Copies of this chain bind each other. A is one copy, B any other.
Amino acid sequence: MDNLCSAARKVFRAALKAVDPYKAVYDSLAIKGTVLSLGGKRREKRPYDLTRYKRILVLGAGKATVPMATACEQILKKRIDKGLVITKYGHSGPLGYIMVIEAGHPLPNTAGLCGAQKIVTLLKETRADDLVIFLTSGGCSALLPLPVPPITLSEKKKLTDLLLRSGATIHEINTVRKHISMTKGGNLARLAYPSTVINLILSDVVGDDLDVIGSGPFVPDSSTFREAWDVLEKYNLKSRLPKSIIKHLRAGLERKVQETPKPGQPYFRKVKNRIIGSNLVALKAAETKARDLGFETLILSSQMQGEARALAKNYAAIAKESVKSGHPFSPPVCLLAGGEPTVTVKGNGLGGRNTELALALAIEIQGLDRTTFLSGGTDGTDGPTDAAGAIVNGSTYRKAIKKGLKPENYLAHNDSYTFFKETGGLLITGPTRTNVMDIHIMLIG
């Protein structure tokens, strides 16, 4: 079992390494003489000849922008003419050419607003012979807040709160939000036009949909003011919303203000959105590592969602089948998955979705030999704890019972962190500076 446990840690570390923000940018930008190309496995057909560009701007927003910007400086050095990235308080670091603004997250504040205004101004000033390298990572949306004036940040917050409580779908919420924003829904692409834009993205969104990550600042928006208005009517929100928002949406409906940039419009011709780090990228690196360690591998999905303890049942069913009949593969096998499960909190215990998933799985696989499972948050934190997740195996349950602890009780109280604190098995990494959601590693030896 110890070998499997150590192998699981190695596989997790390999996953983290692949989505390190500095490394991801460094590996995806390749420079040779005056030619910049987007590296990685999907090498760009049309490289960027830097002699064609008068200026290079490095901009961005997100919790990981500082290490991403550091990589840009390493590669482009003095060629960077202007640089400004916005990151969360406490996430700054030393940069040579690029300015950093720290701002509020997850609640946007005026620091973010000022930063967003500066980025908008810089993009407005770009010309056809400029190259913009934009750095997107988790938190981008909150760190780049710019409602259309005179809508204020607090009015925008009120809108979001009302929409969230209304029962509107995430698609409906985004439709409204994109139509009151100066940055989201393709608006940055319009501002940057006709310069060349490379948007390097570290995705923390299930499914990696470009129009969802950071609310798609460089992606065409196919939703309309009409649809945004319909959402307000559907959920009966018109009377409860700030007047500034109603006024702007009505103006949009009457075509007095511009629609968000639509698919097929010229703004996107010179824009390249490139996902350089994602849950799937992490899973693929984990897969490579697991193969090196001698495991047959299978990536189930990078899009796992739903209640953590229900997911545990399904993972356990797959592990049991592998042990019993060699399906989907005979051991040694490494099953990999990732995503963002949820926990419906009913107790007042301490834990995150990773420790809860691991505890639920420990209950399901009790007595199953040679099976080890690791669930870890790639950002190194799991809920309000100092752990990234936990590692369990077929003996975890029995060992807890021997200590007089009842795993089912800890699960019932959402007290998974405390359970592992008492029995061992916590996965501690410290902050990783990256975030591509969670990684689940099942090793059957």
Contact = CB atoms under 8 A, between A and B. Distances in A.
Interface of A: 207-208, 280, 283, 298-307, 310-311, 313-314, 317-318, 320-321, 324-325, 327-328, 337, 339
A313 B321 contact: no
A307 B311 CA distance: 10
A311 B317 CA distance: 11
11 contacts: A280-B327, A299-B327, A300-B328, A301-B314, A301-B318, A301-B320, A301-B327, A303-B321, A303-B324, A304-B313, A317-B337
B298 A328 contact: yes
Given A310-B307, A311-B314, A314-B311, A207 B301 contact: no
A313 B317 contact: no
A264 to B, nearest CB: 20
A301 B313 contact: no
Given A310-B310, A310-B311, A324-B207, A317 B339 contact: yes
B299 A328 contact: yes
Given A324-B207, A327-B280, A318 B300 contact: yes
A320 B303 contact: yes
A420 to B, nearest CB: 23
A273 to B, nearest CB: 15
Contact of A306 (B301, B314, B321, B337): B314
Contacts of A324: 207-208, 303
A283 B280 CA distance: 29
A304 B280 CA distance: 25
A341 to B, nearest CB: 9
B300 A304 contact: no
B302 A321 contact: yes
A306 B299 contact: no
A32 to B, nearest CB: 29
A321 B307 contact: no
A311 B311 CA distance: 7
A32 B327 CA distance: 34
Contacts of A321: 280, 299-303
> Most chain-B Cβ atoms within 10 A of its Cβ — which of A283, A303, A306, A314?
A314
A412 to B, nearest CB: 12
A303 B317 contact: yes
A306 B303 CA distance: 19
Given A303-B320, A304-B313, 19 more contacts: A207-B324, A208-B324, A298-B298, A298-B328, A299-B321, A299-B327, A299-B328, A300-B317, A300-B318, A300-B321, A301-B318, A302-B321, A302-B325, A303-B321, A304-B317, A306-B313, A310-B314, A311-B314, A317-B339
Contacts of A317: 300-301, 303-305, 337, 339
Contacts of A320: 207, 301, 303
A300 B321 CA distance: 8
A325 B306 CA distance: 21
Contact of A314 (B208, B299, B314, B325): B314
The 8 A-B residue pairs with the shortest CB-CB distance, nearest first, are: A310-B310, A306-B313, A301-B321, A301-B317, A299-B327, A303-B317, A301-B318, A314-B314
Contacts of A304: 313-314, 317
> Most chain-B Cβ atoms within 10 A of its Cβ — which of A283, A303, A305?
A303
Contacts of A301: 314, 317-318, 320-321, 327
